[in-house]
Amino acid sequence: NSAPVTESRTGMEFPSILKDTQRLLGIGLRKKSVFGLKNIDVYAYGVYADDVDVKKCLAEKHGRHSVSELQQKEELRNHLMENDIRMTVRLQIVYGRLSINSVRSAFEESVGSRLHKFGGYDNKELLQRFTSQFKDEIKLPRGSIIELSRDHDYILHTTIDGKEVGSIQSKLLCRSILDLYIGDESFDHKANEDVESNLASLLHK
Ligand code: DAO
Ligand code: DAO
């Protein structure tokens, strides 16, 4: 089954398979309120994970578990974020007037808070290494595609419209980015639920 999946609120379409082996597990929407006045839809996102990595890693941990199904689903999502599983978060820009400065400051706020949460101290250096990839000349019109891919050994590759803009090896950075999208306080709980039910059905098949 390889038809694209549409994010219903924005109409953005996501391929169901990425990089040959990564399967779409969930879709969400990143909104932002501006001046407390209105909510803008900034981008839609799709969360993908490598099929083989998922089965290998999660089957070991959950194959014969007898915990309650609800508890198991949350655990599955956490294992996905914690372990060396190849994953991609694909962002498709909806808001057509993003400036690189607003991207940078949103990033510092949202990723910064997660680096603090998981690292326990201010990771200014790591944050700056990542934001230094955001060159002033980058344009992100509506429809632009940013992919944040975690490769084996926790290397995070960033691409914009298919071109790599940088890569950084950091387990903490990878974990922090994934947390934005499928963590307990993610941008869209719909994505968490999708991921949980898709992981559960992958395992019980
Ligand atoms: O100032 O025009 C504005 C509102 C911009 C909102 C910016 C939200 C940025 C979210 C990060 C996007 C990352 C691709
Ligand atoms: O939505 O607050 C957020 C987090 C945005 C993270 C997006 C990372 C974007 C990296 C690519 C930017 C290139 C200019």
Q: What is the pLDDT of residues 9-54, one digit of tens each?
A: 999 999 999 999 999 999 999 999 888 889 999 999 999 999 999 9
Q: Does domain 5-203 fall into CATH 3.50.70.10? A: yes
| Predicted local distance difference test score (pLDDT) of residue 143 | 97
DSSP string across 33-67: EETTTEEEEEEEEEEEEEHHHHHHHHHHHHTT--S
Tokens of 19: 């990089």
Question: pLDDT value at position 95?
Answer: 96
Evaluate: CB of 38 within 6 angstroms of ligand 1.
no
Instruction: Report how far ligand 2's centroid is from the alpha carbon of 25 (Å).
Output: 20
Task: Spell out which residues line ligand 2, taking CB within 6 angstroms.
Answer: 30, 100, 103, 106-107, 110, 134, 138, 146, 158, 160, 180
**Tokens 């407390």 label which residue?**
36
Q: Which residue, judged by its Cα, is nearest atom 12 of ligand 1?
A: 103
pTM: 0.93
Q: Do 93 and 143 meet the contact criterion of CB atoms below 8 Å apart?
A: yes
Nearest CA owner, ligand 1 atom 13: 103
Residue 199: is its pLDDT beyond 70? Answer: yes
Distance (angstroms) between ligand 1 centre and the Cα of 2 equals 31
- Determine whether 101 is exposed, middle or buried from the number of CB atoms within 10 Å of its CB (0-12, 13-18, 19+): exposed
CA of 197 to the centre of ligand 2 (A): 27
**Average pLDDT for 103-113:** 91
Mean pLDDT, range 176-187, rounded to an integer: 97
What's the gap in Å between 139 CA and the centre of ligand 1? Answer: 13
